[in-house]
Structure 1
Amino acid sequence: MDINAANQKAVEKVLNAQPVLVDIGIAGEVIPGMTKKTILHAGPPITWQKMSGPMRGAVMGALIYEGLAGDIKEAEELAASGEITFDPCHHHNAVGPMAGIVSASMPVFIVQNKAEGNYAYCTLNEGLGKVLRYGAYGPEVIQRLKWMEKVLAPALKEALEIVGEINLKNLIAQAIQMGDECHNRNKAGTSLFMREIAPGLVQTKNSPETIAEIFKFISGNDHFFLNLSMPACKCTMDAAHGIENSTMVTAMARNGTEFGIRVSGLGDRWFTGPASVVDGLYFPGYSSKDANPDIGDSVISETAGIGGFAMAAAPAIVKFVGGTAKDAINYTLSMYEITIAENNAFGIPVLEFRGTPTGIDIRKVVETGILPAINTGIAHKKPGVGQVGAGLVKPPVNCFEDALVAFAEMMENK
């Protein structure tokens, strides 16, 4: 099979994917390879010694949440002891926003790609500000995580059993036509999910007060849908991985220290470069001096052709990440130059319902010099602080150059 045919096969797997929310479970019970002392993280592989501040903060918070440490000092010592197994979410069919920390007791969404049968997993979204995924670990962070484990997740699981499986591809398609790009703007997606789950929630065994509390939590968190769109994109892209001779990118991810990509035809190898500092808008009292370099698995959105690739559908995003409405359109238009196909399921109204640019080709990135457009949140560089802003970032070009060199060497050796 030649390269173009291989890429066509890979991108068709993406276009034909049918990600569906099928259940909610506990990470240690459903994610392959999880143990009580396993901590999954965002991005390519990294050791404790090389972790950035927000990732360290999130790890320490997770160890306290799990009861493996009593305080931050104990958590730091345990994390550095070698007793904890650190591994990328991507190695376990999972994804996590920002620090991406997943520990054994955390509830996770279970999403299945009905077209291929493969699964993906993601934690539930905590909201913005001082939250674990941004490296915060105070008592209010742990208390919120416990409420999500003991109250929110069981109620949503029961509600899902009542309403039945939820087609996430349909929700993403609708959200894009309602002004979301499903990475940093999820207002429509969250609202659509609320419409789907609400009839089930009111029929659960929970008290009216608990149901009201759940509605208030989700409606007050416009990013709730992010943790559904991410595993939808993950199981979509995993289906396209491992196709011989394909130069299509199937994963992009950042751990706060390095940015990494994986390519369909190059196995599970990571090609990495230094993570960049995000260019964006900061919360009052913060500036780029406070920012940690780019972090998180949420760039699986752009990998699958939404997020920054669909910014033309979400001009209001610029109020959160910076730039102008025209910039948002131009970002999307430039992404057609480095992709293999257009996803007609995700039509962009302002572009006459043209499908989102889908399937990044490392050859086109290197040839054109155009890098994937990514919009993202910004974490404080110190552990324990949390989110300080949001903006736009580009990956290091050497990831794509190194992958293309490796691909050429592989082809020569065949």
Structure 2
Amino acid sequence: MLDIDRANEIALDRMMSARPILRTVARAGDVIPGMGERMLLHAGPPITWERASGPMRGAIVGACIFEGWVADAAAAEALVTAGGVTLDPCHHHGAVGPMAGVTSPSMMVYVVENVTHGNKAFSNLNEGYGKVLRYGAYSDEVLARLRWMNDVMAPVLAGALALSDDGLDIRALLAESLHMGDEGHNRNKAGSILYTAKLAPLVVRAAPDAETAAGVLKFLADNALSVLNPVMAACKAMADAGHGVEGSTIMTTMARNGTDLGIRVSGLGDRWFTGPAGQPDGLYFPGFTVADANRDIGDSTITETAGIGAFAMAAAPAIVTFISGTPQDAMNATLEMYEITATEHTAFTIPSLGFRGTPTGVDIRKVVELGITPRINTGIAHKEAGVGQVGAGLTRPPMSV
């Protein structure tokens, strides 16, 4: 007879003992397992072009142009609908990507290794806010930025990490940033500062000249989300360590593709359980309203899966200025998540709660019993391809999942 509680203990011990180290930056097609040269990875559960949302379609178009497969949007749509490109979830390949999450073979990605259990995880590079590929934008400006990131910044970061003392410990960085006002998902200001500070002396040594070093450091320092993508890969490495434990009812994946939200459970293999992605409730940039918003999208809910993000909002009261609400709402969000999780994280703690560990390990039994679904912090994409980010807010998965 299966002992579910014991199975959950094993899964959670593996998740929390995982130590994700950022090792390098490398070409996606060379390091991501099973990634073909005519494959695009995307956020969330499986999706087809026909069911894809505007921002997802826009990111797919942009990636096809970036790769040089096509010259324009019409040709990209024709290529994809004719089967000339395979679409597959990032999660099927040990990877994650924010918002649309589209990753193409030539894109450079972060490589994170869980040194405790040996598994690896991957994520693309963060472009910053506004009109960016991950929100479905694919203008010349967007593609030029991507090419600079790929051709100039990525080799410098790879060189910097090679000069580091055995990589960067992302779990330790996260633990520190939670004590500095971050929650690890929508607020990464402290973490990005720590990340840039750790890399800065290495970037100066790795860059071919001072101008290149200055450009890379300015790009990292100007982007309060610089660390989000390595954090996501770290959370993926931690969550995957707890996946595949027979009998476990712990959620090890939660992801959205702009149309559907899907979860996977440790003891239920790689099967997706899906429902409609939610409509975020939040704050909008000037000139935009909820009428402009797409449904929730992105793999970044791997942060909540690992015990941070919306689950750690009590550590980040200032986040409400970005996603709406009050500091008390942030506190209440964390307290509610203790109701549906199986443990408290041993590495991630919240000062305002007496250094209590963050609520970790959503137990689907508790979700069903209490009728409480996981909270999600999220950016909001415009529903039309090419516009970009229009706000940020909160949502939850549907109980139907």
Which TM-score band (shorter chain)? over 0.9
- For the 8 Å contact 1:57–1:136, the answer to whether it is kept is yes
- Please tell me the residue identity of whatever aligns with 1:83: G
Per-residue Cα deviation, 1:321-357 (whole angstroms, up to 9, x for no partner): 0000000000000000000100131110100100000
Distance in 1 (CA, whole Å) between partners of 2:283 and 2:207 is: 43
Partner of 1:317: 319
Distance in 2 (CA, whole Å) between partners of 1:145 and 1:34 is: 20
- For the 8 Å contact 1:163–1:199, the answer to whether it is kept is no
- Please tell me the residue identity of whatever aligns with 2:330: A
In the TM superposition, structure 1's runs of 4+ consecutive aligned residues that sit over 6 Å from their partners are: none
TM-score (norm 1): 0.96
Give the fraction of aligned pairs with identical amino acids, expressed as a percent.
59
Spell out the pairing of 1:211-290 with structure 2 (5 A cutoff). 211-290=213-292
Spell out the pairing of 1:30-41 with structure 2 (5 A cutoff). 30-41=31-42
SS of equivalent to 1:272: strand
Partner of 2:332: 330
Partner of 1:2: 3
Partner of 1:344: 346
Partner of 1:367: 369
Structure 1 residue 269, shift from structure 2 partner: 0.3
Q: Aligned match of 1:189 in 174, 188, 191?
A: 191
TM-score (norm 2): 0.99
- Please tell me the residue identity of whatever aligns with 1:295: I
- Please tell me the residue identity of whatever aligns with 1:36: E
- Please tell me the residue identity of whatever aligns with 2:224: D
- For the 8 Å contact 1:380–1:388, the answer to whether it is kept is yes
Further displaced range: 202-211 or 16-25: 202-211
Per-residue Cα deviation, 1:300-341 (whole angstroms, up to 9, x for no partner): 000000000000000010000000000000000000000010
Distance in 1 (CA, whole Å) between partners of 2:206 and 2:304 is: 36
- For the 8 Å contact 2:207–2:213, the answer to whether it is kept is no
SS of equivalent to 2:338: helix
Per-residue Cα deviation, 1:183-238 (whole angstroms, up to 9, x for no partner): 00010111111111111111124211111111111111101111011000001010
Partner of 2:173: 171
Distance in 2 (CA, whole Å) between partners of 1:265 and 1:377 is: 30
Partner of 1:405: none
Structure 1 residue 35, shift from structure 2 partner: 1.8
Distance in 2 (CA, whole Å) between partners of 1:248 and 1:121 is: 22
- For the 8 Å contact 1:98–1:134, the answer to whether it is kept is yes
Distance in 2 (CA, whole Å) between partners of 1:320 and 1:370 is: 24
- For the 8 Å contact 1:163–1:196, the answer to whether it is kept is no
Spell out the pairing of 1:9-24 with structure 2 (5 A cutoff). 9-24=10-25
Distance in 2 (CA, whole Å) between partners of 1:180 and 1:247 is: 28
- For the 8 Å contact 1:159–1:204, the answer to whether it is kept is yes
Partner of 1:305: 307
- For the 8 Å contact 2:41–2:88, the answer to whether it is kept is yes
Spell out the pairing of 1:67-216 with structure 2 (5 A cutoff). 67-164=68-165, 165-216=167-218
- Please tell me the residue identity of whatever aligns with 2:243: H
Unaligned stretches of 5+ residues in structure 1:
400-414
Distance in 1 (CA, whole Å) between partners of 2:271 and 2:74 is: 35
Distance in 2 (CA, whole Å) between partners of 1:280 and 1:305 is: 22
- For the 8 Å contact 1:43–1:296, the answer to whether it is kept is yes
- Please tell me the residue identity of whatever aligns with 1:239: A
Distance in 1 (CA, whole Å) between partners of 2:90 and 2:340 is: 26
Partner of 2:66: 65
- For the 8 Å contact 2:24–2:157, the answer to whether it is kept is no
SS of equivalent to 1:202: helix
Distance in 1 (CA, whole Å) between partners of 2:348 and 2:361 is: 14
